[in-house]
Amino acid sequence: MASVHSAADVLDLAVPNDNRTHDAGTNGETEGAHSTMVETGTQHNKPCLKKETLVVDDWQALNDLKDFIPNVESKSVDEIHKRIKYDLDRFKEFRRQGLSLRSGRFNAQENERLKSNVYDFLSLTGIQSGSRLFHPQRFKEEEANIKKLKCQHRFHERIGEGIPRPWHQIYIRGRKMFDGSNYKGRFTEEELHTLKKLQTLHGNKWAKISALTGRSESALEKRFAQMSANKGVWTEEELKRLMEAVRKHLVGQAEPGSGPATVRKDQLYNNIPWTDVCQTVETRHWSQCRIKWLGVLKHKMSYGQPVFSGHTKSLQGKVDLIKALNAMQVEDVADINWEEIAHTIGDVTPRYVQTHYYRLKVANVPLWQSMSFCEIIDFLNSRVLPNCEERLKVLIKSGEVVSRNDPQELFLLSEIFDNEDGNHYSDVQNS
């Protein structure tokens, strides 16, 4: 099995919970149910899979799968069966090749490999287009035959060849890439009016609305959510509902033991079920909830002293960021391990570091839009870094000291959620 990555370019061999975001698929495409976590005193119980739901062979395969997806038992039985069928052998092969599973944004190589796999499958089966392959329900006369051919020729395994990711991530990416209705530009006023009317008639049946409008399911769902969400400043009540929803999720992720509840740093921002959170908040889109929470979390993790603020501290942060990016030696921004960068910088989230990388290149790299990622990093390393280091030396000689704490790996839930006060987050984005 050919692959498009080297081991140095990819993340650790662990797959994040697919419940982390809203757009893991729509209309039955999303796999897995959200787990219900229970808090009883200081003990934190997690759901477990009943043995009678799987046959003996499945349990052996499940144990093998846990080597790659530690939290797989929290997923639905149907999803576990699909992971065993479509992913387990692929994962074992990637491990034999010394490759690690990837997550997050697809890079250019993965996109090209997926396109190649799809075109090979079309040639093999005679299916006329990628749109027919991923959206057969739009072609009623051909739908039955397309589904038959996909089953006969192992569609899910073939499109995932050489791409070290779970099959469902690859499938969802393919649905978006080969959906021409995804790229129609801004919605017109007439389309927005029609969308409101159809959603009132059909509810959240986005596949049906897509067939009636010619827009993709994901584009319709996201646009309607944005229309329905509050655009103003967050109220104190909204913030309380957000904090409570996230707290309930994190209680279930707490480290085992009888002491004060603690969670790992990465659990504070990864794999949070934002669809569930926004349903609790009620007045905000899931992306607004995520952005707001990350802003609050940035404040909490840094104890109100952001890494990139203050003259000396800001310069030190820029120096550390440029050096860390250069040291990674990757050719595509999608290959950056932002978790590792965030650990190098200190008590910040990966998104916080990504935001400041963007600001750094926009402010310092001329014509960055026309440059490759490697060219941008080379410019920052050769032109911007020496200037920052020189200015930092001058400030340190003048008596300014950069205080730096070791990155904190575990956080008490009481540190994050006790005494939260909306007035403390006035600097957090409110949209």
Q: Tell me the CA distances in angstroms from 346 to 139, 298, 318, 319, 389, one per residue in order.
A: 52, 11, 12, 13, 19
All domains in the chain, ordered by first residue = 7-178 (no CATH), 185-228 (1.10.10.60), 243-431 (no CATH)
Distance between CA atoms of residues 174 and 130, nearest Å? 8
Highest mean pLDDT among 35-49, 288-302, 399-413: 288-302
In eight-state DSSP terms, residue 286 is H
Model pTM score: 0.55
Q: Band of the pLDDT at 410, cuts 50, 70, 90?
A: confident
CB 83 within 8 A of CB 169: no
Q: What is the mean pLDDT of residues 112-134?
A: 94
Distance between CA atoms of residues 332 and 366, nearest Å? 19
Give kind and range of the element (H or E) at residue 411. Answer: strand 410-412
Q: Band of the pLDDT at 103, cuts 50, 70, 90?
A: confident
φ, ψ of residue 374 to 5 degrees: the values are -60, -40
Long-range contacts of 373-379 (CB under 8 A, 24+ apart): 373/330, 373/331, 373/332, 373/333, 374/331, 377/322, 377/325, 377/326
The string of pLDDT tens digits covering residues 200-246 is: 898 878 888 988 888 888 888 888 877 877 778 899 999 999 999 99
